[in-house]
C-alpha cells in the first residue's frame, strides 16, 4: 500500500500530501477528524470550499489512518494521532509568516528614526528587542523571535545576502549575526562611527605594515577592507587592523575601509605609500611593563658620564612623543643609570612624561647619588598634548648648578620655561660622578613605565644644540633624517622603521637596544 506523506511547506505557506492525487492545499483551509462510527479512519474537510455550498466538501473521506505518515515517513499509532498531526500541519498558527529563503533571497535591515522599529526592505517591520539572529551553519542564519528562538520568521538566510543600511556585512557568519543582533537590540548607540586614523601611511620597501583603523562616534559592529594589495591582510581577531606588505614594490596602493553600525557607515580611503630612501612610517608603542634597553659598554653614550670635580660634558637628545590617555603622573621616556630597580645610591639621568591631567609636561633630572646632589627641571603644565605627536629636545651645556644651569628644553621648536622641583639643589663641578651603566627607554630605576605612549626618531648628540639647530630638527613638524643630519648624532634610533624584533637598532653607532616584554606588534604604523 502506498503511503501519503504529510508535510507543511513553510516556503509556500501550504501543506503537501505527497503520493496523493490531491497534493497541495493552502495553509488554514483543512480540518481533519476521525470518521464517524470508526476508530481507524479519518476525514479531511476543506472548510474554504464549504463556504457558499451549504454542505461539507471532503478532500479525503473515510481513509484508513495507516495510509498517512509524517514528514519523516513515520506512521501514526492511531487515527486520532494522524488527525492531530494533520490539523497542526494544516493550520500552523505558530509558523505563520515563516519564510524559507533561497540562495537568491536578500534582506536589507535598518532602524527607523525613533530607534524603536526594525525595518526590512520587503515591507515587514518589527519592534526592537523582538528579533534575534541565529547561526545555522558557516553560510546561513535564521531570524527568530527573541522570546522563543524556535519561532523562526526567516529560515536559511544566506549571510552574503544580508545588509544593514545597504552595507554588506561580509561572509563570516559570526560577524553577521553579531551585527544584526546589535541592530535588533540597539547596542551600537545612536551615532554612526567616524574613522579618525591617518588617511596616508608611508612605509619603506621591505618593511611590514601594522595599521589600525581607529574610530570615534558610535560603537563599530564591523570593519570591511577592500582593495588590499597582495600580501596585506586583515587580522582575523582584530578586524580593524591590517598587517603585512613586506613584498610590496615602491608605489601607492589605495585601500578602502568601512566601519559601520546599524545607524550608519563611515567610509575611509587609505593610501599606502611604499617608497625608497628615508621614510618615517613607524613608531614603537609602549604599554604596561614594556621597555627597551642595553648595558652600556666603552664608547657608548660617553657624554652622559660625569667624573668627580669635572663639569658635566655637553650633550643633547631629541625625540618624538605621542602620549596616550593614561593619567599616570610619572612615565619614563629615557634614562641612564648606574644601577636599576632602586634610586638609593644611584647616579642617573632621566627624562619623564608627567601624564596627570594637571601636568602633561616634561621632567628632566641629573642626579649624583639618588637623594644627593641633583638638578630637576619641569616644563610648564599642558606643554605636552595627548594623542598628537610632540617633538622634544633636551640640551645641556655642561653647567648643572641650581641657579645657572645650562639646560634648555624645546617642545615643538619652542624653548620652555623650566621650573626647579624635588628640592633641586644643583650639581656643582666638584660633585661626585655620574656613571650610567644601563641605558633604557620607557623604564627608570624606580620602574616607572610609559602607559600607551608612542616613541619615534630618537637622536643623541655629544654636544649642546643651538636654537637654530633645534628648529631645523623640528622642521615645522616633519621629521628629519637623523642619520644625515648635521651636526652628526652619536646614536640614532628609528623605533620601528628598519627594525627587526626584538632589536631597536642604533643607526649611526653600535649601541643596539633589546625589546623587553614586547612583540613585533609593538611596531605600529603611526608616525609624525
For the chain, the domains span: 4-94, 99-185, 194-275, 283-524
What the block records as the C-alpha cell of 320 is: 618624538
Segment 312-336 shows an average pLDDT of: 96
Instruction: Give me the CATH topology for the region 283-524.
Output: Jelly Rolls (2.60.120)
194, 184, 95: which is closest to 134 by C-alpha?
Answer: 184
Q: What is the average per-residue pLDDT within 123-132?
A: 83
403-418 b/e with 16+ CB inside 10 Å = b? eebebbbbbbbeebeb
Among residues 296, 292, 278, 334, the alpha carbon closest in space to that of 483 is found at 278
The 10s digit of each residue's pLDDT in 2-59 is: 789 998 876 556 788 888 877 788 777 788 999 999 999 999 998 777 666 678 888 8
Pick the range with the lowest mean pLDDT from 10-14, 362-366, 417-421: 10-14
Q: What is the pLDDT of residue 95?
A: 44
SS3 content of the chain, % helix, strand, coil (to 5): 10, 40, 50
Is the pLDDT reported for residue 526 higher than 50?
Answer: yes
Q: Are 155 and 84 within 8 A, CB to CB?
A: no
What confidence category does residue 371 fall into, taking pLDDT thresholds of 50, 70 and 90? low
Which range has the worst mean pLDDT, 48-52, 287-291, 425-429, 454-458? 48-52
CA distance 317 to 83: 91
Rounded distance between C-alpha atoms, residue 100 and residue 122, angstroms: 14
Kindly give, in sequence order, each residue whose CB lies less than 8 Å from that of residue 269, ignoring residues fewer than 6 positions away. 199, 254, 255, 256
Is 401 strand, coil or helix? strand
493, 508 Cβ separation under 8 angstroms: no
pLDDT at 93: 46
Number of neighbouring beta carbons within 10 Å of residue 105: 15
User: 211 has which bridge partners?
Assistant: 242
Percentage of residues in the chain having pLDDT higher than 90: 52
Decide if 334 contacts 458 (C-beta within 8 A): yes
Does 502 sit behind a cis peptide bond, omega within 30 degrees of 0 on the bond before it?
yes
Mean pLDDT of the 149-171 span: 83
According to the model, what pLDDT value does residue 262 have? 63
Instruction: Report the sign of the C-alpha dihedral through residues 503, 522, 256, 134, in that order.
Output: positive
Residue 128's H or E segment, with its range, is none
Q: What is the pLDDT of residue 94?
A: 43
Using one digit for the tens of pLDDT, what is the confidence trace for 60-74?
Answer: 999 999 999 998 889
For residue 157, the surrounding DSSP H or E stretch is strand 152-158
Q: How far apart are CA 437 and CA 421, in angstroms?
A: 25
Q: Where do we find the cell 509568516?
A: 97
Structural contact between residues 427 and 309, judged by C-beta atoms closer than 8 angstroms: no
Q: Would you place residue 89 in the very low, low, confident or very high pLDDT band (cuts 50, 70, 90)?
A: confident
* pLDDT tens digits for range 163-202: 888 877 777 888 888 888 888 876 555 677 888 888 888 8
Considering the chain, what is the average pLDDT of its residues?
A: 88
pLDDT band at 275 (very low <50, low <70, confident <90, very high): confident
H/E stretch holding 468: helix 467-474
Q: Give the fold, CATH level 3, of 194-275.
A: Immunoglobulin-like (2.60.40)
Show the 3-state SS of 196-233.
Answer: CCCCEEEEECCCCEEEECCEEECCCCEEEEECCCCCEE
Amino acid at each position: 500500500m502506498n503511503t501519503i506523506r504529510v508535510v507543511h511547506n513553510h516556503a509556500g505557506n501550504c501543506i503537501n500530501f505527497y503520493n496523493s492525487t490531491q497534493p497541495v492545499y493552502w495553509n488554514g483551509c483543512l480540518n481533519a477528524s476521525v470518521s464517524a462510527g470508526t476508530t481507524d479512519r479519518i476525514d479531511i474537510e476543506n472548510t474554504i470550499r464549504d463556504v457558499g455550498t451549504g454542505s461539507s466538501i471532503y478532500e479525503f473521506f473515510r481513509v484508513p489512518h495507516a495510509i498517512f505518515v509524517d514528514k519523516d515517513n513515520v506512521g501514526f499509532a492511531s487515527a486520532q494521532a494522524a488527525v492531530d498531526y494533520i490539523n497542526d500541519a494544516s493550520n500552523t498558527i505558530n509558523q505563520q509568516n515563516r519564510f524559507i529563503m533561497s540562495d537568491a533571497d536578500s534582506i536589507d535591515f535598518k532602524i527607523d528614526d525613533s530607534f524603536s522599529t526594525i525595518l526590512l526592505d520587503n515591507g515587514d517591520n518589527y519592534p526592537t528587542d523582538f528579533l534575534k539572529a541565529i547561526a545555522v551553519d558557516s553560510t546561513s542564519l535564521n531570524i527568530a523571535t527573541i522570546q522563543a528562538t524556535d519561532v523562526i520568521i526567516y529560515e536559511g538566510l544566506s549571510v552574503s545576502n544580508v545588509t544593514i543600511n545597504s552595507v554588506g556585512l561580509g561572509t563570516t557568519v559570526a560577524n553577521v549575526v553579531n551585527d544584526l543582533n546589535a541592530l535588533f537590540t540597539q547596542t551600537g548607540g545612536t551615532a554612526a562611527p567616524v574613522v579618525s586614523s591617518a588617511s596616508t601611511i608611508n612605509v619603506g620597501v621591505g618593511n611590514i605594515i601594522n595599521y589600525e583603523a581607529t574610530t570615534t562616534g558610535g560603537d563599530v559592529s564591523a570593519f570591511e577592507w577592500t582593495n588590499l594589495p597582495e600580501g596585506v591582510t586583515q587580522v582575523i581577531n582584530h578586524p580593524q587592523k591590517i598587517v603585512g606588505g613586506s613584498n610590496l614594490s615602491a608605489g601607492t596602493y589605495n585601500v578602502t575601509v568601512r566601519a559601520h553600525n546599524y545607524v550608519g557607515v563611515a567610509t575611509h580611503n587609505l593610501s599606502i605609500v611604499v617608497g625608497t630612501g628615508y621614510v618615517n612610517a613607524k613608531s614603537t608603542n609602549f604599554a604596561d611593563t614594556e621597555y627597551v634597553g642595553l648595558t652600556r659598554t666603552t664608547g657608548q653614550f660617553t657624554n652622559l658620564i660625569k667624573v668627580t670635580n669635572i663639569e658635566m660634558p655637553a650633550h643633547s637628545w631629541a625625540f618624538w612623543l605621542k602620549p596616550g590617555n593614561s593619567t599616570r603622573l610619572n612615565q619614563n621616556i629615557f634614562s641612564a643609570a648606574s644601577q636599576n630597580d632602586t634610586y638609593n645610591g644611584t647616579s642617573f639621568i632621566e627624562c619623564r612624561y608627567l601624564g596627570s591631567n594637571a601636568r602633561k609636561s616634561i621632567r628632566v633630572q641629573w642626579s649624583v647619588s639618588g637623594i644627593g646632589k641633583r638638578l630637576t627641571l619641569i616644563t610648564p603644565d599642558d606643554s605636552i598634548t595627548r594623542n598628537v605627536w610632540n617633538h622634544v629636545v633636551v640640551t645641556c651645556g655642561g653647567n648643572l648648578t641650581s641657579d645657572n644651569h645650562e639646560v634648555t628644553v624645546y617642545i615643538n621648536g619652542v624653548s620652555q620655561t623650566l621650573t626647579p622641583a624635588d628640592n633641586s639643589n644643583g650639581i656643582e663641578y666638584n660633585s661626585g660622578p655620574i656613571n650610567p651603566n644601563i641605558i633604557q627607554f620607557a623604564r627608570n630605576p624606580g620602574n616607572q613605565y610609559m602607559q600607551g605612549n608612542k616613541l619615534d626618531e630618537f637622536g643623541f648628540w655629544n654636544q649642546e644644540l643651538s636654537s637654530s639647530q633645534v628648529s631645523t630638527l623640528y622642521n615645522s613638524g616633519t621629521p628629519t633624517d637623523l642619520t644625515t643630519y648635521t651636526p652628526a648624532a652619536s646614536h640614532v634610533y628609528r623605533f620601528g622603521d628598519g627594525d627587526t624584533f626584538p632589536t631597536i637598532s642604533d643607526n649611526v653607532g653600535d649601541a643596539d637596544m633589546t625589546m623587553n616584554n614586547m612583540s613585533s606588534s609593538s611596531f605600529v604604523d603611526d608616525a609624525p
